[in-house]
Chain A
């Protein structure tokens, strides 16, 4: 069990039959009262954020959570299959568990951090930046570098993103997976 003094950002705890991660904490003690730690915590399954206050001395259950580096192999139409790069075990994760923010930028051979809760895969973290090829976009407009003008482009994963007008079909571009934004041409 964790003590309140163990509370820090990123600590994974079990509460109400779900895993939560601490996103914010603050020690607080009223002058005439006992000490508490205020927290904000995010449900690792649903993303819901709640405020929870712990009294100093309270015990907190650790979440049965583990994280493994896994390589994305393929999608069989239903499941996204990953392989543990250490023990080569494979696991299939439904697309709706990963979420569109992950599957949009998931390319074969990408290395992800896959989160397991009670032995079940529940989420995957992509690298912050991925390089993806544009499979379709309208031809660029030469010389147009005005800010704020962009056009849609379809990536090799099937996702659509906004790119500047000077970017062409067949080019490889870099995407920030946390925001889904174009950041530049691939440097490779």
Chain B
């Protein structure tokens, strides 16, 4: 165990809570033990007696938004099976916040200000910020136009377009990212719980991710507000899971209904262990955690 590392994390936690307090955000702790832990194909929730361990606080926080809370955040443990490595832990600390009435622009600015506050707290030089679309990154790094590329154009080893996309992402794009990078306009097939836009050159999900010195820190959605579309995405992720021999996710009908009652909202989830480690310049998340 690294005492200095734990002190660094404590300072980042204090900075984060102060940041949201001064902006009128309410801290809302929600249950860790839940009936439905995720809706995405590639998340593997852990089982516990009486339910599942949440993979993020998203379903509960959105019910709080639907109940009338306009600015909320939560910092708490989340659990994802089959994830273990220098930048992954089965258990990790997630920061998630929701802002009613906001779009992605406001959330990009707020995320940058939070990260800069943490840089200041830890006394490290501020990283330069850059904003780029997924399509621009693939053109720049791989020389491929995502709007027209087939799976085999992206990677000869993959049949699925999304898997080919992620193989190039992991192999070529991610290692090329320096400084702080906001990556916008993701493929519509990777929308998860975000709204999709079809009026551009190709259909894109209204979400962004934040990379900090090559480490994926955060994922934000311009939130989907359509219950039937939300249910359909649950079903299609579950169909993919069944085809891959994985158990389907239980559908959280309370959450699906709540999506239809939410006002226009932008929300973001940020890995706090990664924020601490990436800003502090560590080689992985271990130094800031108790073992």
Contacts and interface: CB of A to CB of B under 8 A. Distances in A.
Chief secondary structure at chain B's binding surface: mixed
Contacts of B158: 55
Contact of A34 (B84, B163, B192, B209): B163
B87 interface: yes
Contacts of A28: 85, 87-88, 170, 174
Contacts of B192: 32
B19 interface: no
A32 B219 contact: yes
Nearest to A36: B170
Contacts of A35: 42, 82-83
A143 B163 CA distance: 68
Given A30-B216, A31-B216, A36 B84 contact: no
Interface residues of B, number: 26
A33 interface: yes
Nearest to A28: B170
A64 interface: no
A148 B252 CA distance: 73
Interface string B17-59: 0000000000000000000000010100000000000000000
Contacts, number: 58
A34 B42 CA distance: 6
A38 B170 contact: yes
Contacts of B85: 26-28
Interface in B169-204: 169-171, 174, 186, 190, 192
Contacts of A38: 170-171
Interface in B72-89: 82-88
A115 to B, nearest CB: 28
B167 interface: yes
B162 interface: yes
B166 interface: yes
Given A34-B163, A38-B171, A29 B42 contact: yes
A27 B83 contact: yes
Interface string A1-33: 000000000000000000000000011111111
Interface string A22-63: 000011111111111010000000000001010110000000
Given A26-B85, A27-B85, A33 B171 contact: no
B83 A30 contact: no
Contacts of A27: 83-86, 88
A27 B87 CA distance: 8
Contacts of A55: 157-158, 163, 167
Contacts of B190: 32-33
Contacts of A29: 42, 83, 88
B141 to A, nearest CB: 14
A75 B44 CA distance: 59
A72 B190 CA distance: 59
Contact of B171 (A31, A34, A51, A56): A51
Interface in B203-222: 209, 216, 219
A81 to B, nearest CB: 43
B171 A53 contact: yes
A7 to B, nearest CB: 11
B167 A36 contact: yes
Interface in B124-182: 157-158, 162-163, 165-167, 169-171, 174
A33 B42 contact: yes
Given A28-B88, A34-B162, 10 more contacts: A26-B85, A27-B88, A28-B170, A29-B42, A32-B42, A32-B186, A33-B163, A33-B170, A36-B170, A38-B170
Interface of B: 40, 42, 82-88, 157-158, 162-163, 165-167, 169-171, 174, 186, 190, 192, 209, 216, 219
8 contacts: A28-B174, A29-B83, A29-B88, A30-B170, A30-B216, A32-B40, A32-B42, A55-B163
Task: State the 5 A-B residue pairs at the shortest beta-carbon distance, nearest first.
Answer: A27-B85, A33-B166, A53-B171, A36-B170, A32-B190
